[in-house]
Structure 1
């Protein structure tokens, strides 16, 4: 890597690979900028002076099995192209770690704004906040009512036993990043495992659906859904429950490094209105979401603990990681409260 390369991306090797696989795509030496704000996979905007693309790769260290699967993101976005769910065009997937040191893929650069701060959402008027919230619900409903078979994702996951496997998976992820005592987190995992509800509708699950995982264009329309690293086939209500965690579950947190500037506290409608919009558009029953909300808190607590683990071991790139660990105990308490 040269002195001008961002951490984790060898631009010379990247250009050589692109030229060999997609001749003529690049018109000159590459430059790259690491996109700040992400807490998991690394995202770079790469350009040659005339065109721009986006490159995604896993974190620099402590990569948990299945947690940073580049092929998963690439496959689901490729499959969703042309559907009512807006996604960037994909160009290339590279599983050869010898190229830049990790698997990666290249996708279209979609212009737009990622709303991830109070300063950004403050620029929206009340009507724009409400309209954007309803769009967020509409796009999620459209995703969940797609037929996986028709878009080539019929074998993308196993809906049967999905919720049980999810509880086990995130419990394993927690054990792999466990470096300190977290009051209540083992009890939350146990209670979730004991009360798994039946899945009434199976579909494509995004896995981390929230406002700052979509791009918004100048007309304040959602132009692309991003960050598909946890997508699979399963119970869509896990996305619906997690939406509340991001939208309203951080109330009272002095410094919230994960979901800032959204929810009723910032002039957006309550999550209940998003849920009503989603239910009307999808026809999916939302009569009992408590378990799914609690699972959302548990999942985000485990993800946050993994980020904290990488931060304390010097394996992160970017800003804001020093505050993530303090959020875990709050998330666990909220998850237990949701079950109660």
Structure 2
């Protein structure tokens, strides 16, 4: 594997000294590495010793919100779910010592699969393949949400009670810390979300960023999910937050796209949001008439995450490509959230 142009950002010598004694038979040769495309948050690297390959995850460079980039929590939930009904990579090593490569990190196996990130990617699928992938995507989310956290050693992984209230407070504080511009409507949206928090909660394991491009599928059978990735925001909370996030990212024709997915699911074969929601509700045996609050909240949360990444980019603390286009995504998400609020069929959400 040829080293990528940004492999120098990863201390391969320090990583090799740490990883060698922790893999069967040691390393076959010097480590080579490259920064993987895709995620704009936790830098993710593919490394190899000439024979075997691994994936390395570390927190972002620069000032970060520690609780959303906790390598210990991320590696813990993956370890807990390995072998469960939710496919995840195996964790090879976890290092909390920042002196090894300059930050804490973990190493996991490299799963052989394909990720569909963009509309150009999903165009490669036939309509029936898109429909099958959508079914698998919903089935996997239901599987996650119906796992008993205690049964996989995650009983103390979070506090479902008060989860939504804490989330709103946390992301609002983070906005004040990282914002690079004045968007007065942000505060009115935050006030609205606080006033209209749903009463009903469905506790369980929450992925926090569940969407099509955080799934890896089989090369030959794109309906078979081989790994769910990017668990950096996982916790115990209200599982409907994942449904809201999935719908926020689920694009359909004639409606404003999420600026991140940019139409990835707005193609024949993919169901519309109503179809995704109905499939989830049916498989879980619940009614989801109040889901709109969670979708608006997801747009709100994404605004803060993107503003934080944009702020790090302005400080020169990002690695890789794809950061220059984040700036306009933030007001676009705010506009979409406000439109959702105005158009909601639920009177409390229009107030």
TM-score by length of 1: 0.94
Partner of 2:322: 320
Counterpart secondary structure, 2:244: helix
Counterpart secondary structure, 1:124: coil
Structure 1 residues 181, 266: CA separation in 2 closer, same or farther (over 3 Å shift)? farther
Deviation, 1:73, is 0.9
Which stretches in structure 1 are left out of the alignment for 5+ residues? none
Counterpart secondary structure, 1:248: coil
Tell me the distance in 1 between the aligned counterparts of 2:208 and 2:21: 34
Deviation, 1:141, is 0.5
Partner of 1:282: 284
Counterpart secondary structure, 1:325: coil
Residue deviations 1:154-192, cap 9 Å, x none? 000000000000001111221221121124111111111
Structure 1 residues 33, 114: CA separation in 2 closer, same or farther (over 3 Å shift)? same
Deviation, 1:261, is 4.4
Partner of 1:48: 49
- Aligned counterparts, 1:26-65, within 5 A: 26-65=27-66
Structure 1 residues 195, 112: CA separation in 2 closer, same or farther (over 3 Å shift)? same
Does structure 1 residue 245 correspond to structure 2 residue 256?
no
Counterpart secondary structure, 2:302: helix
Deviation, 1:333, is 1.8
Residue deviations 1:71-94, cap 9 Å, x none? 111000100011110000111111
Contact 2:251/2:263, CA 8 A, preserved across alignment: no
Counterpart secondary structure, 1:12: helix
Which segments of structure 1 move beyond 6 Å, counting only runs of 4 or more? 2-5
Counterpart secondary structure, 1:158: coil
Partner of 2:293: 291
Which stretches in structure 2 are left out of the alignment for 5+ residues? 342-349
Contact 2:217/2:226, CA 8 A, preserved across alignment: yes
Deviation, 1:260, is 3.5
Tell me the distance in 1 between the aligned counterparts of 2:99 and 2:5: 20
Deviation, 1:5, is 6.8
Partner of 1:123: 124
Q: CA RMSD in A?
A: 1.9
Which of 227, 231, 251 aligns to 1:228? It is 231
Contact 1:46/1:52, CA 8 A, preserved across alignment: yes
Counterpart secondary structure, 1:203: strand
Residue deviations 1:29-63, cap 9 Å, x none? 00011001211001111101110000000111121
Deviation, 1:23, is 5.9
Does structure 1 residue 262 correspond to structure 2 residue 264?
yes
Question: Bigger shift: 330-339 or 257-266?
Answer: 257-266
Structure 1 residues 140, 182: CA separation in 2 closer, same or farther (over 3 Å shift)? same
Tell me the distance in 2 between the aligned counterparts of 1:4 and 1:278: 42
Aligned length: 337
Tell me the distance in 1 between the aligned counterparts of 2:183 and 2:108: 38
Counterpart secondary structure, 1:119: helix
Question: Bigger shift: 153-162 or 12-21?
Answer: 12-21
Counterpart secondary structure, 1:268: coil
Contact 1:116/1:261, CA 8 A, preserved across alignment: no
Tell me the distance in 1 between the aligned counterparts of 2:241 and 2:6: 38
TM-score by length of 2: 0.91
Deviation, 1:120, is 1.4
Partner of 1:92: 93
